[in-house]
Amino acid sequence: MNSPDQKAREIRHKEQEQRKRQQELLLSELAAEIDRSVPAHLTSKYEEPDSQTNSQLQQWRRKILATAQFTGIVIAVVITVRIASWLAAALIVGGIALIAYKIFFEEED
């Protein structure tokens, strides 16, 4: 009677070992694939000394352009605020003049 239980245990044990071997094989394949996808060393493009000065000039050009854009925006905002304040002042003076006219100079019917 012990032999069927013992055979079932052996079968389960062999299945577990087989699953374990399959997992180890899969993990080793994944590790090999990762090693193949990552280069052993990183390379960088060789830059000649002239290109370094050229890149520095480009950086300065970008900085100057950014500064010019910022200055232009600031000037536009200042001009817009001044025009708006002049218009607001004109509307206030016109409103006060209209109220004064209505109160003092308009004839009542």
Residue 67 counted as domain residue: no
Residue 45 counted as domain residue: no
For 21-71, write each residue's pLDDT tens digit: 999 999 998 888 887 776 667 777 776 666 667 788 889 999 999 999 999
pTM of the model: 0.45
Q: How far is CA 57 from CA 48, 60, 69, 94, in A?
A: 15, 5, 18, 55
Q: Is the pLDDT of residue 88 over 90?
A: yes
**Containing domain of residue 81, as a range?**
73-109
Residue 26 counted as domain residue: yes
pLDDT score at 89: 98
Domain count across the chain? 2
The mean pLDDT value for 4-18 works out to: 90
Residue 55 counted as domain residue: no
pLDDT score at 22: 94
